[in-house]
Structure 1
Amino acid sequence: MPKITYIDAAGTARTVEGSVGATVMETALRNNVPGIDAECGGACACATCHVYVADDWAERVGPAEDMEQDMLDFASDVRATSRLSCQIKIAPDLDGLTVHTPARQG
């Protein structure tokens, strides 16, 4: 199973196993990873699962689609590598993915 590392704003890293086909958000919630609120439950209707994809993973994860980009307008401190974790599906090639959670969610 692919491993995902979540790093919070204080620099604390948590590495958990994710299931192929699940999202980065679902994996965080299942493993009680702090910093991802996911108020809409993964419907891409809020920005409370905002993460920063680590620079070395950004190209592999890919850019946000239009609907996700619209929701990122509601996120705090949006950056070039900002994504909604509900829109990142875990695939075998994402084993080792690192994401950072912002200091606060939308």
Structure 2
Amino acid sequence: MGVIHVTDRNGQRHTLEALEGWRVMEIIRDWGLPIEGLCGGACECATCHVFVDDKWLDKLHPPTEEEENQLDTVVSWPNSRLSCQIIWTPELDGLEVTLAPTGN
């Protein structure tokens, strides 16, 4: 077990316990933070859009073409990812993400 740090849309930082093999979207949702994830992690909606802290980007697998296509449907930045496509591993202990604004 480890942690991820999530900054919510109000700027409040939360430290959440994370379990190996869980999607970051699931961890955020299960701790009660407001993340939609309407498609349940199928990479079909972009409602779990997050901004990954730059120091963590190289530690993540690159986004798939499918994920990039979904990110094209929202206002995204180079550090944008879909949290349903990030599987938490011990190497990601301390991962820092910020919830993207809704409707983006």
Whether TM exceeds 0.5 here: the answer is yes
> Does 1:47 pair with 2:35?
no
Q: What are the superposed Cα offsets for residues 6-52 of structure 1, whole Å, 9 maximum, x if unpaired?
A: 10232101111111000100101111112x11011111011000000
C-alpha distance in structure 2 between counterparts of 1:105 and 1:61, whole Å:
25
Partner of 1:5: 5
**1:29 matched residue in structure 2:** 29
Q: Distance in 1 between matches of 2:99 and 2:65?
A: 21
- In 2, distance between residues paired with 1:43 and 1:6? 22
Q: Distance in 2 between matches of 1:50 and 1:27?
A: 14
What is the TM-score when the length of structure 1 is the normalising length?
0.92
- Partners of 1:51 and 1:99 within 8 A in 2: yes
Spell out structure 1 runs of 4+ moving beyond 3 A.
Answer: none
Aligned equivalents of 1:13 and 1:33: distance in 2? 11
2:99 is aligned to: 101
Supply the AA of the counterpart residue of 1:13: R
Q: Matched residues in 2 for 1:21 and 1:62: separation?
A: 14
Q: Secondary structure at the match of 2:97?
A: strand
Structure-2 residue corresponding to 1:16: 16
Contact 2:5 2:97 in 1 (8 A): yes
Q: Structure 1 unaligned runs (5+)?
A: none
Asked whether the equivalents of residues 8 and 33 of structure 2 are also in contact (C-alpha less than 8 Å), the reply is no
Q: In 2, Cα distance between the equivalents of 1:63 and 1:81?
A: 11
Q: TM-score, normalised by structure 2?
A: 0.94
1:50-90 CA-partner distances (Å, limit 9, x unpaired): 00000111111133111100111122x20001000000000
CA RMSD of aligned residues (A): 1.1
Q: Helix, strand or coil for the counterpart of 1:89? A: coil
